[in-house]
Amino acid sequence: MDLLEAIKTRKSIRAFKADPVSKEQIEEMLRLVVRAPSAINLQPWEFYVVMGDEKARLSRRLVKLYREKQISCSPGNIKPLSAEFNKRGAESFILMNPYLEKMGMDFNCFVNEGSCNFYGAPTAVIMCLDNAFSEARLVDIGIALGYFVLIAHNLGLSTCPIGLINAYEDDIKEILNIPDNKDVVIGLALGYRDDSSPINEFTSPRDSVDNFIHWID
Ligand SMILES: Cc1cc2nc3c(=O)[nH]c(=O)nc-3n(C[C@H](O)[C@H](O)[C@H](O)COP(=O)(O)O)c2cc1C
């Protein structure tokens, strides 16, 4: 697939088949992901790839924790968001809801429990950063995430980034034996899309690019 075609057609997928993704496929993808640029070529990313029974165990524990703690998906803002940002968030919700209604699902339950379950994907990738780095290096992890979702799509796989898991960082580190000096940055659901699910018909909208550009000339 041509790169621009991959960019145009990729989207987050929220229903997966149980079919496993092999270690060979994941290594093939990661060899490409680590071609991403990083400051001073530090390549600060680390990938904990959770599969099989371990992935099922992780999902079960996270769903249970969500039910106990009720920490939901949120933008993680530290000041009130402007009306413009709130409008974009609300729009995604309004547009996704009809697909969830077809499935008889409530939005909050679907997105929060679904995220904790990596939407049924057979593989969960937890991207970590050594805590010796400053927050500036989160940029490098973000770039690698961007590469990852496009490379997976190009190879016929699907993904959904899962930021919700940050709320359960300590639990995830304990469940997966991730060392104390590693920070959990982002999760990724990885697998084959289940096209029998109405939710995968949903495509998120984008604002006009004019609203993002500040020309200085
Ligand atoms: C950093 C980050 C965190 C995200 N966290 C979640 C999440 O926890 N649950 C979820 O369902 N989607 C999550 N997403 C997916 C976004 O909702 C999605 O990328 C956005 O709505 C745009 O849709 P698209 O990816 O289909 O283009 C996350 C995306 C990013 C980049």
Q: Per-residue pLDDT for the chain (217 aa), expressed as one digit of tens each? A: 899 999 999 999 999 999 999 999 999 999 999 999 999 999 999 999 999 999 999 999 999 999 998 877 677 778 888 889 889 888 988 999 999 999 999 998 999 999 999 999 999 999 999 999 999 999 999 999 999 999 999 999 999 999 999 999 999 999 999 999 999 999 999 999 999 999 999 999 999 999 999 999 9
Q: Determine the angle formed by the axes of helices 23-33 and 138-154, rounding to 10 degrees.
A: 130
Closest CA to 161 of 8, 12, 10, 9: 12
| Residue 211 included in any domain | no
Q: Is the CB of 11 under 6 A from ligand 1?
A: yes
| Residue 181 included in any domain | yes
HSE of 112, CA atoms in CB hemisphere, 13 A: 18
| Residue 217 included in any domain | no
User: Which amino acid residue places its CA nearest to atom 23 of ligand 1?
Assistant: 204
Q: How far apart are CA 205 and CA 33, in angstroms?
A: 26
pLDDT for 118: 98
| Residue 92 included in any domain | no
Q: Is the CB of 161 under 6 A from ligand 1?
A: yes
Q: Determine the angle formed by the axes of helices 169-176 and 52-69, rounding to 10 degrees.
A: 150
| Residue 106 included in any domain | no
Q: 42: domain range?
A: 3-71+113-199
pLDDT for 90: 87
| Residue 79 included in any domain | no
User: Which amino acid residue places its CA nearest to atom 14 of ligand 1?
Assistant: 161
Mutate to test the pocket of ligand 1, among 7, 9, 10, 12 (most ligand atoms within 8 A of CB): 12
Phi, psi torsion values for 80, nearest 5 degrees: -55, 140
pLDDT for 72: 74
Q: pTM (2 decimals)?
A: 0.97
Q: What is the CATH number of the domain that holds 137?
A: 3.40.109.10
Q: Is the CB of 92 under 6 A from ligand 1?
A: yes
| Residue 82 included in any domain | no
CA of 162 to the centre of ligand 1 (A): 6
pLDDT for 1: 81
User: Which amino acid residue places its CA nearest to atom 18 of ligand 1?
Assistant: 12
| Residue 62 included in any domain | yes
How do strand 182-191 and strand 158-162 relate by DSSP bridges? antiparallel
Domain count, the chain: 1
